[in-house]
């Protein structure tokens, strides 16, 4: 430093040279804060303007802006959901939420299973199977879901399913018609059954742990799957009998089905559309994940003489799923959000319930704001679960 | 070599691919039977039992909705000019690539080049041919013929604009000129026929293109904002992205349809199509932001450090070094998102009543001549074919682009 | 971890807000303390529309722009309607709307703007019609909409004089064997979403002690598809709608039978948004002019011959010079409409009887309650003076 300072300036102290103040308009720290304040200010101004317009417009017509509408009678029924026309709107929204969750859970399970099978099939060495899977994936992936949903209702349910007078009776276990599918159902408290199921699941887990510890000690094959399932069944049956639950089978009675529970036809249409569409996406992800597993793993499995199924089940798939959890979780999230399309075919999910209550007189903005909040909550909870699963399965690298 | 060798070649193939093991054999037979049945059903539906009159009669409605007859000429001119523009763009880009060394200058024989084009475009060509065969007037044939000629002329002219050395000013002029052509065509059509009278497949394409073009800058800004070191900007961007990503697009469209009138004074209230474009843009921008953020994270830190070392300003770092690599790396994800956007334009018909292709497919089955006959299967199949063709072509072109840019290859 | 905690906070905050919003209504009398939620409760538990209905008519905010001025300035009336109800509103392939309701849209345009063609028909879905009206997307809703108390109140609409007095009926397939409403037990009854027919059908089932499953569909086309496929046993709607849809049934009108019983009143009336008295009254008198014209015997064919009539009330009605207290003058009631609005309405569109006959008579609908009061019906126009 000293070499560069000219001799003339030797008399000037260093601090004087270095302490020139940067003007305010060029000071980076000031600019940063000004920019932030400007951005936030713009956003706040926009929100205030929008909200002001809203208050003004609704005040002109005396449309309520609070959540009092939740107590008004809903004035519509939801078939198969025990929502009477006189129950308040909040019950209707709750049923809508339950319906969304029902189709989401059913759809996610079915789509994941189907998608995994198709993804594995795409990599099969059997030419027909792999080509068929490829055609399925490429065909379905590029068609909008809305077409599947509408086709599901108008072509499958209304076209293929028979009328109630000619309903298909599957050995007394299911009665299929275009008014719905009646399946056997239990008589008794739903929550009680869930509690029994939870206890049985815990017992099964304990049994699996016990078996694996036995296996560690003595070396016998653990067969934890078998023991866990057995424990689950035993506890479940004991609970069922002890609490007096019963089955009812569906029967055809004129134009109705008596007994069991009848699943809405639009549920099937939506289920069919969502599963077929999402499975094609999951199949692509599974295929990519399997291909991303290092080839050495497959070759090592072959070297140890594992059968094809064992190779897939014990070596390839676990690693593939670790890679694939984030995108598959994303597809699950998409399925949950796509279930809102049920509104187009009359499935009373949250969106349709919201639309109907608005059409029946509830103020539009609070209803839809509430719906959006509920969907955002569902999405965030799901992504939390996916993130948790991702972290649990991630490789611990040093 | 000999006939027996050839025959056994097929048998060997069958044994290896179809009958490797007993289980394999059973699967082959089962799925083979299933495939044959599916093919039979499809062919019989398409050629025998399908009642395609409803499509033939309503083809115009399905493609351009209720576009007034008087102004269809403008649409035709737009198609021809767009074809020429596309050809010009292709030639121009190729010339620039040759110039910058990314492509070779060797004279590929015309036949090979034509073969290459045919391999790329055979699927859309077949579908266009199908549409022409279904149309009942000669107009579409003429338009398509002129458009092909215009595209060829544009392709031949393009390289002449791309060969000379263009400084920054020249490049800017050319880019602005190229960008101005679609915009001018848009205004040319919209001044004659307002947005709200557009319909059919044209409306789907237009909604998709508009939203794609508009969502890119917004998405990149949001991604940069989310990674910003300024806390307030980061909070605003993150909140926006998380909120928009959590809500279904269908609900957002319903909300826009229903609630926009409350939040905006009547004089400013946009038309339904504009609302759809706004919602699509805002929605896709949030997803784009996440994708671009992933891309930004994938650029090695060394690149930024090297850029700083060379003395580039932050803006130049971003613009010349980081963004090009980031965007290149996420082309697959981006393309997936854009195809999704194109497919989701059907939701605008369901949620907001826009007269786009799916809506038309439903509406024509309610016409007096066609109601109550269950023709919805035919119309939906036709709509599915159109969507599938465009989406499939988009994804194939994207794969080609990835290969050329070397995505995933260091 | 920070990201996940931040993400976890959002639903918690949202749930807290939700909980806060939902619980304010429940604290009625059991809570003796003056908790904040309690003091809010009295304001929120009264129905929102209640406190304003009596004051509505005098609540015209001075200086606020009425829709009437906006419509005159824009030179077009935006009329909310539908596109596929035969007789009431049908969108022809040429792009015109034809029907009873469409003609009343033209009546309003002829009255306010002097030209029946200065109307923009906006097709609305049943579930969207009131929000379109509330948000100002349409100026007036003429869409065979039933006038009910809750729609006047919380839904922010003001209903005007009914154009069609109707009631709700049930339609079944002729080969189903049902002949009377009490036969319908254990059936599926299909209705349109977002309409009064849903609630009415459920109420009627409860009243008669019948076991109905009421399914709602988004559009009449979907109901028709479901009906043909056998998913619906019966179809319930306003009787006029049933007659109209039966006439266009693909298998022919004979395939459907409308049961003789009717229930629930359903006066179909045009509606405007709340809070705009000038516009409401202008539209109301435009519609009433058609009824008054039929009472006077004036229709589109003979309206020109009344130029030299001696009847003072007809002179006032048609905006001709009438002898008044201060000498001959043209009568202007101060509604904001041109003085010859009735003349324009009759000559360009027609009187009530003409509109009815042109669109509804061929469907098989009779005047019935929709005749003039002089013929025993309910159509009665207040005097034009």
The reported pLDDT for the residue numbered B97 is 79
Question: A278: closest CA among A87, A148, A124?
Answer: A148
Q: Which of residues 241-270 of B touch A (CB under 8 A)?
A: 242-243, 245-252, 254-255, 258-259, 261-265
Name, in order, each residue with C-beta under 8 angstroms of B364's C-beta and a sequence gap of 6 or more.
Answer: B54, B58, B61, B62, B370, B375, B379
| Whether pLDDT at B287 is above 60 | yes
CA–CA distance, B381 with B134 (Å, rounded to integer): 15
Identify the band that residue C106 occupies on the pLDDT scale cut at 50, 70 and 90. very high
Report the largest interatomic distance among the alpha carbons of chain B, rounded to a whole angstrom: 83
Give every CB contact of residue C142 below 8 A, 6+ residues apart in sequence. Answer: C79, C80, C81, C101, C102, C104, C105, C108, C163, C270
Name which of C127, C156, C274 is nearest A356 (Cβ-Cβ): C127
Residue C183, pLDDT > 90, answer no
Distance from C-alpha of C215 to C-alpha of A170, rounded to nearest angstrom: 26
pTM for the whole structure = 0.83
Whole-number pLDDT of residue C3: 53
Q: Which of A70-74, B15-19, C84-88, C336-340 has the highest mean pLDDT?
A: C336-340
Q: Closest Cα of chain C to B226: distance in Å?
A: 13
pLDDT at residue number B373: 77
Say yes or no: A179 contacts chain C, CB-CB below 8 A.
yes
Q: Is A357 on the interface with B (CB under 8 A)?
A: no
Of B254, B264, B384, Cβ closest to residue A143: B384
Phi/psi for C246 (5° steps) reads -65, -35
Q: How confident is residue C201, by pLDDT bands cut at 50, 70 and 90?
A: confident
- Specify the range with the lowest mean pLDDT, choosing from B100-104, C159-163, C183-187, C205-209: B100-104
Kindly give, in sequence order, each residue whose CB lies less than 8 Å from that of residue A338, ignoring residues fewer than 6 positions away: A145, A274, A277, A278, B248
Name which of C71, C121, C102, C119 is nearest C337 in CA terms.
C71
C134 contacts C273 by C-beta, under 8 angstroms = yes
Give the residue, A398 or C241, on which the prediction is more confident. Answer: C241
Mind telling me how many Å the CA of A369 is from chain C's nearest CA?
11
The Cα B286–Cα B25 span in angstroms is: 49
Is B11 touching A (CB cutoff 8 A)? no
By Cβ distance, the residue of C95, C124, C251 closest to B66 is C95
* Cα–Cα distance, C338 to C344 (Å, whole number): 9
Two tokens, residue C4: 């996940």
What's the confidence (pLDDT) of residue B119?
A: 84
Q: Which of A181, A326, A359 to mutate to test the interface with C (most CBs of C within 10 A)?
A: A359
Separation in Å, CA C190 to CA A262, C49, C194, C212, C236: 17, 31, 13, 10, 6
Give me the residue from A163, A381, A387 closest to C11, CB to CB. Answer: A381
Structure tokens at C283: 């539209």
pLDDT per position as a tens digit, C285-305: 999 999 999 999 998 998 888
Distance from CA of C308 to the nearest CA of B (A): 45
Residue B130 CA: distances (Å) to CA of A351, B382, B385: 38, 11, 11
Whole-angstrom Cα distance, residue B98 to residue B393? 25
B242 touching C (Cβ < 8 Å) = yes
Comparing B249 with A165, the larger pLDDT belongs to B249
- pLDDT class for A70, splitting at 50, 70, 90? confident
From the list A126, A142, A341, the residue facing B387 with the nearest CB is A142
- Cβ burial of B104 (10 Å; 0-12, 13-18, 19+) is exposed
Contact check, Cβ <8 Å, C18/A370: yes
Number of Cβ within 10 Å of residue A215's Cβ equals 14
What pLDDT was estimated at residue C52? 36
Q: Looking at CA atoms only, how far is residue A1 from chain B in angstroms?
A: 21
pLDDT tens digits, one per residue of A22-53: 787 788 888 888 888 888 899 999 999 988 88
Nearest Cα to Cα of residue A355 among A371, A378, A373: A371
Binary contact (C216, A346; C-beta < 8 A): yes
Range of A68-72, A105-109, A213-217, B404-408 with top mean pLDDT: A105-109
pLDDT of residue C6: 53
* CA distances for B309 relative to B304, B317, B325, B326, C21, angstroms: 9, 11, 18, 20, 56
Position C58 scores a pLDDT of 39
| Domain spans in chain C, listed from the N-terminal domain onward | 60-163+269-385, 167-265
Nearest C-alpha neighbor of A341 from the set A150, A161, A151: A150
CA distance B257 to B268: 14
Determine the residue of chain B that is closest to C248 in CA distance: B368
Contacts of residue B66 in chain C, CB cutoff 8 Å? 95
Q: Taking a contact as any Cβ pair under 8 Å apart, which residues of chain C between 250 and 269 contact chain B? A: 250-251
* pLDDT given at position B306: 93
Stronger pLDDT, B185 or A7, i.e. the higher one: B185
Residue A284, pLDDT > 70, answer yes
Taking 50 as the threshold, does the pLDDT of residue A64 lie above it? yes
Assess B120–C contact: CB distance below 8 Å, yes or no: no
Q: What is the pLDDT of residue B228?
A: 84
Q: Measuring CA to CA, which residue among B75, B65, B381, B79 is closest to residue B200? A: B65
pLDDT digits (tens, 9 = 90+) for A11-24: 555 655 556 777 87
Q: Are C213 and C187 in contact (CB under 8 A)?
A: yes
Average pLDDT over residues B158-185: 83
The pairing of beta strand C234-238 with beta strand C187-192: parallel
Quick one: average pLDDT of B349-360? 89
B174 three-class SS: helix
DSSP for A27-83, please give it.
-HHHHHHHHHHHHHHHHHHHHHHHHHHHHHHHHHHT---SSGGGGSB----BTTTTB
How high is the pLDDT of residue C15? 52
User: What three-state secondary structure class fits A197?
Assistant: helix
CA distance linking residue C210 with residue C187, whole number of Å: 9
Q: Give A164→chain C minimum CA distance, Å.
A: 7
The per-residue pLDDT for C19 is: 41
Q: Yes or no: say if B292 and B219 are a contact pair by the CB < 8 Å rule.
A: yes
Q: Which of residues 201-260 of A touch C (CB under 8 A)?
A: 253-256
Question: What CA–CA distance (Å, rounded) separates C152 from C57?
Answer: 13
Please check whether residue A344 touches B, CB under 8 A: yes
Answer CATH for C167-265 from 3.40.190.10, 1.10.10.10, 3.40.50.700, 3.30.565.10 = 3.40.190.10
How many CB atoms are closer than 10 A to CB C13? 11
- CB–CB contact C215 A79 (8 Å): yes
Q: Tell me what the mean pLDDT of segment A183-197 comes to.
A: 82
Structure tokens at B141: 């044939």
At residue A333, the pLDDT reads 92
| Inter-chain CB proximity C131 and B258 less than 8 Å | yes
Q: B122 in contact with A at a CB cutoff of 8 Å?
A: no
Q: Which of B109-118, B177-186, C212-221 has the highest mean pLDDT?
A: B177-186
The helices-and-strands tally (H runs, E runs) of chain C is 13, 16
Within this chain, domains C60-163+269-385 and C167-265 share the same CATH topology: yes
Mean pLDDT across the stretch B2-23? Answer: 72
pLDDT of residue C49: 35
Chains within contact range of chain C (3+ C-beta pairs < 8 Å) = A, B
Structure tokens that stand for C355 in this block: 């509109």
Average pLDDT, chain B: 86
Chain A positions touching B341 (Cβ under 8 A) are none
In eight-state DSSP terms, residue C35 is -
Say yes or no for a CB contact (<8 Å) between A384 and C4: yes
Check if the beta carbon of residue C126 is closer than 8 Å to that of residue C141.
no
d(CA A172, CA C239): 41
ipTM above 0.95, yes or no: no
Q: Is the dihedral of CA C341, C344, C348, C350 positive or negative?
A: positive
Look at residues A147, A326, C199 and name the one whose alpha carbon lies nearest to residue B360.
Answer: A147
Task: Return residues 303-342 of A near B (CB < 8 Å).
Answer: 337-338, 340-341
Residue A256 has pLDDT above 90, yes or no: no
| Predicted local distance difference test score (pLDDT) of residue A3 | 61
CB atoms within 10 A of CB B57: 15
Cβ-contact B218, B283 below 8 angstroms: no
Whole-number mean pLDDT of chain A?
85
Chain segment B77-89, per-residue pLDDT in tens: 999 999 999 999 8
State the pLDDT confidence band at B68, using cuts at 50, 70 and 90: confident
Closest by CA to A368, choosing from C128, C238, B51, C379, is C128
Contact: C134, A61; criterion CB under 8 Å:
yes
Please indicate whether residue C199 or residue B210 has the higher confidence score (pLDDT). Answer: B210
If pLDDT is split at 50, 70 and 90, which confidence band does B391 have?
very high
Of A125, B391, A61, nearest to C48 (Cα)?
A: A61
pLDDT at C35 over 80: no
Lowest-confidence region among A362-366, B72-76, C10-14, C137-141 = C10-14
C-alpha distances out from residue B124 to B58, B128, C97, Å: 21, 6, 38
**Candidate from B242, B261, B366 with C-beta closest to C84:** B366
Residue of A nearest to B347 (CA): A146
3-state secondary structure of B51: coil
Reported as type and span, the H/E element at residue C271 is strand C271-273
Shortest CA distance from A365: residue in chain B: B259
Residues of A in contact with B387 (CB under 8 A): 142-144, 147
A105 pLDDT above the threshold of 90: yes
Q: Rounded CA gap, A107 and A109, in Å?
A: 6
C60-163+269-385: CATH topology is D-Maltodextrin-Binding Protein; domain 2 (3.40.190)
Residue C245 has pLDDT above 80, yes or no: yes
Three-state SS letters, B186-229:
HHHHHHHCCHHHCCHHHHHHHHHHHHHHHHHHHHHHHHHHHCCC
- Judged by a CB distance cut-off of 8 A, whether residue A164 touches chain B is no
Beta strands in A249-333 (DSSP E): 251-253, 256-258, 261-263
What are the structural domains, with CATH classification, of chain B? Answer: 3-49 (no CATH), 69-192 (no CATH), 198-410 (1.10.3720.10)
- Cα-flanking dihedrals φ and ψ of residue C379, to 5°? -80, 120
């Amino acid at each position: 430093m000293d070499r560069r300072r000219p001799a003339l300036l030797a008399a000037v102290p260093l601090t004087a040279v270095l302490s020139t103040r940067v003007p305010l308009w060029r000071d980076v720290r000031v600019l940063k804060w000004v920019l932030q304040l400007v951005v936030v200010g713009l956003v706040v101004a926009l929100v205030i303007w929008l909200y002001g317009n809203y208050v003004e417009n609704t005040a002109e017509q005396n449309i309520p802006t609070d959540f009092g509408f939740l107590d008004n009678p809903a004035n519509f029924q939801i078939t198969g959901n025990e929502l009477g026309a006189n129950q308040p709107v909040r019950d209707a929204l709750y049923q809508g939420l339950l319906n969304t969750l029902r189709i989401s859970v059913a759809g996610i399970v079915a789509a994941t299973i189907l998608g995994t099978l198709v993804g594995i099939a795409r990599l099969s060495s059997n030419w027909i199977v792999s080509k068929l899977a490829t055609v399925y994936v490429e065909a379905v992936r590029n068609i909008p879901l809305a077409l599947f949903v509408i086709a599901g209702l108008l072509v499958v349910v209304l076209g293929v399913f028979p009328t109630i007078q000619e309903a298909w009776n599957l050995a007394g276990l299911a009665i299929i018609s275009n008014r719905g599918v009646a399946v056997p159902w239990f008589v008794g408290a739903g929550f009680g059954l869930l509690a029994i199921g939870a206890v049985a699941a815990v017992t099964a887990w304990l049994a699996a742990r016990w078996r694996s510890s036995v296996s560690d000690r003595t070396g016998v094959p653990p067969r934890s799957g078998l023991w866990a399932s057995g424990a689950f069944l035993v506890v479940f049956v004991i609970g069922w009998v002890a609490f007096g639950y019963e089955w009812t089978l569906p029967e055809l009675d004129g134009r109705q089905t008596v007994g069991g529970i009848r699943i809405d036809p639009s549920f099937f249409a939506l289920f069919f559309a969502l599963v077929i569409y999402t499975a094609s996406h999951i199949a692509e992800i599974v295929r990519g994940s399997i291909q991303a597993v290092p080839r050495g793993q497959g070759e090592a499995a072959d070297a140890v003489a594992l059968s094809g199924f064992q190779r897939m089940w014990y070596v390839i798939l676990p690693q593939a799923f670790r890679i694939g959890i984030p995108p598959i979780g994303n597809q699950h999230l998409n399925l949950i959000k796509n279930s809102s399309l049920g509104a187009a075919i009359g499935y009373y999910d949250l969106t349709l319930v919201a639309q109907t209550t608005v059409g029946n007189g509830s103020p539009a903005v609070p209803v839809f704001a509430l719906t959006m909040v509920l969907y955002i909550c569902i999405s965030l909870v799901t992504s939390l679960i996916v993130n948790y699963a991702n972290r649990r399965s991630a490789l611990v690298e040093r | 070599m000999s006939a027996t060798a050839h025959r056994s070649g097929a048998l060997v193939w069958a044994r290896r691919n179809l009958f490797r093991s007993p289980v394999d054999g059973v699967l082959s037979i089962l799925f083979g039977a299933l495939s044959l049945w599916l093919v039979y059903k499809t062919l019989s539906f398409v050629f025998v039992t399908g009642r395609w009159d409803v499509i033939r009669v309503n083809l115009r409605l399905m493609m351009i909705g209720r576009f007034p007859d008087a102004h269809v000429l403008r649409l035709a001119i737009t198609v021809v000019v767009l074809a020429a523009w596309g050809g010009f763009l292709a030639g121009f880009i190729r010339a620039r690539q040759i110039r910058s060394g990314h492509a070779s200058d060797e004279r590929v024989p015309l036949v090979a080049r034509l073969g290459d084009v045919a391999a790329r475009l055979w699927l859309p060509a077949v579908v266009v041919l199908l549409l022409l065969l279904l149309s009942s007037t000669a107009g579409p044939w003429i338009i398509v013929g002129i458009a092909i000629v215009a595209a060829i002329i544009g392709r031949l002219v393009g390289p002449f604009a791309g060969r000379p050395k263009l400084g920054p000013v020249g490049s800017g002029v050319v880019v602005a000129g190229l960008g101005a052509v679609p915009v001018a065509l848009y205004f040319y059509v919209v001044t004659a026929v307002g947005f709200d009278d557009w319909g059919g497949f044209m409306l789907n394409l237009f909604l998709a293109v508009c939203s794609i073009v508009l969502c890119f800058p917004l998405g990149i800004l949001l991604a940069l904002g989310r990674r910003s070191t300024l806390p307030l900007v980061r909070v605003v961007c993150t909140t926006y992205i998380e909120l928009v990503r959590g809500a279904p697009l269908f609900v957002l469209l319903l909300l826009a349809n229903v609630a926009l009138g409350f939040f905006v004074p009547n004089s400013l209230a946009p038309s339904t199509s504009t609302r759809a474009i706004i919602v699509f843009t805002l929605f896709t921008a949030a997803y784009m932001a996440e994708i671009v953020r992933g891309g930004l994270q994938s650029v090695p830190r060394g690149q930024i450090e090297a850029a700083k070392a060379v003395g580039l300003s932050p803006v130049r770092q971003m613009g010349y070094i980081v963004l090009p690599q980031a965007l290149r790396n996420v082309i697959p994800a981006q393309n997936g998102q854009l195809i999704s956007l194109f497919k989701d334009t059907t939701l605008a018909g369901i949620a907001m009543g826009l007269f786009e292709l799916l809506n038309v497919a439903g509406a024509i089955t309610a016409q007096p001549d066609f109601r109550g006959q269950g023709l919805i299967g035919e119309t939906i199949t036709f709509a599915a074919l159109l969507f599938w063709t465009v989406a499939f072509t988009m994804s194939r072109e994207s794969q080609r682009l990835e290969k050329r840019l070397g995505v995933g290859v260091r | 971890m920070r990201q996940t905690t931040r993400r976890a906070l959002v639903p918690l905050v949202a749930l807290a807000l939700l909980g806060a919003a939902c619980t304010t209504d429940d604290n009625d009398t059991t809570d003796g303390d003056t908790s904040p939620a309690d003091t809010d409760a009295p304001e929120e538990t009264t129905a929102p529309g209640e406190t304003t209905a009596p004051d509505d008519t005098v609540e015209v905010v001075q200086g606020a722009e009425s829709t009437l001025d906006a419509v005159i300035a824009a030179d077009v009336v935006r009329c909310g309607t539908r596109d596929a109800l035969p007789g009431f509103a049908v969108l022809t392939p040429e792009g015109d709307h034809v029907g009873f309701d469409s003609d009343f849209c033209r009546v309003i345009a002829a009255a306010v703007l002097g030209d029946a063609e200065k109307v923009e028909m906006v097709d609305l879905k049943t579930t969207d019609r009131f929000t379109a009206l509330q948000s100002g997307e349409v100026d007036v809703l003429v869409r065979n909409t039933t006038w009910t108390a809750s729609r006047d109140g919380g839904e922010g609409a003001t209903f005007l004089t009914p154009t069609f007095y109707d009631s709700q009926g049930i339609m079944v397939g002729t080969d189903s064997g049902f002949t009377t409403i009490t036969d319908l037990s254990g059936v599926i009854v299909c209705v349109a979403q977002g309409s009064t027919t849903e609630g009415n059908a459920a109420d009627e089932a409860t009243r008669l002690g019948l076991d109905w499953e009421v399914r709602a569909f988004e559009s009449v086309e979907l109901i028709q598809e479901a009906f043909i496929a056998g998913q619906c046993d019966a179809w319930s709607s306003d009787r006029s709608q049933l007659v109209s849809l039966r006439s266009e049934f693909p298998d022919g009108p004979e395939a459907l039978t409308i049961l003789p019983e009717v229930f629930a009143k359903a006066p179909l009336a045009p509606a405007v948004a709340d809070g705009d008295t000038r516009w409401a009254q202008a539209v109301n008198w435009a519609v009433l002019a058609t009824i008054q014209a039929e009472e006077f015997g004036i229709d589109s064919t003979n309206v020109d011959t009344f130029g030299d009539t001696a009847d003072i009330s007809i002179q006032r009605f048609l905006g001709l010079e009438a002898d008044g207290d201060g000498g001959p003058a043209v009568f202007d009631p101060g509604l904001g409409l041109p003085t010859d609005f009735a003349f324009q309405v009759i000559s360009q569109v027609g009187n009530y009887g003409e509109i009815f006959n042109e669109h509804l008579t061929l469907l098989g609908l009779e005047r019935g309650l929709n005749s003039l009061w002089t013929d025993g019906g309910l159509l009665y126009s207040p005097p034009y003076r």
